[in-house]
Amino acid sequence: MTDLDARKAVLRGKLKERRAAAAAANGAAVAALAADRFLAAVPLRAGQAVAGYWPMADELDPRPLLDALRQCGVLVLLPCVVAKAQPLAFRRWDEDVAPPPGRYGIPAPPDHLPALRPDILLVPLVGFDAEGHRLGMGGGFYDATLEALRGDGLPLLAAGYAFAVQQVAELPHGAMDERLDLVVTERGAIDCHAEGGQTI
C-alpha cells in the first residue's frame, strides 16, 4: 500500500462514519432536498441519458432525483460492473424497485439490456473537496469510467452526489484520480471548475 493509499484509507473510515451519521439523522429529507438542488443547477432536456446509482449502505439516496428525472423525459441508467477496475457499463432502468444483484452483489440492470452512454454521470461519494477531487470505495471503477467517457470526445458532466458533511478542505489525490465537474449536496451545487469551488 502506498502512502497515498494509506492516507485515503484513514480518511475513508472517518468520512464513512460522517456519512452514516448524516443518513441516520435525516437521510430522507436530505435526499429530497438534494434532488431539488440538482434540478435547479443542471440544465436538462428530454431524451438525455443520466446515469444514477442504486443506493448502497449509507450513500445519499438518489431515487427521489431519478424519479424526477424520469418525469422530465430523461433516460435513467444504472451502472453495471463489467470487470475489476474496468469502466462501468450503463443500462436503462425504469423500475422503482431494486434491479437484481449483479457482479459483487451490486444491484444492476440485467446484461441482456443494451448499454447506453450517459450524458450526465451521477457519482456516489465517500468524500470530496471543492476542487472536485473525490474519494470512493477504492475499487477504481469510477476513475476508469470517467477516463473512458472523457476520452471518447463527447460531452460529459460528472456530478458527485453526497451529504454536505462529506466535504473536506483538501482530499489526497494522485495523477490517475479523475476529478468531478460538479458536486451536489443538500446545500447546493458546487462548481468544481470555479476557483474555490463556487456554490451555484
* Full residue range of the structural domain in which residue 68 is found: 3-199
Rounded to two decimals, the pTM is: 0.93
pLDDT tens per residue across span 85-110: 789 999 999 988 889 988 888 899 99
Please name the residue that has the C-alpha cell 451521477. 122
CATH number, position 61: 3.40.50.10420
pLDDT of residue 1: 64
**Count of structural domains, the chain:** 1
For residue 174, CA distances in Å to 9, 69, 124, 177, 179 come to: 14, 33, 19, 5, 10
SS3 170: coil
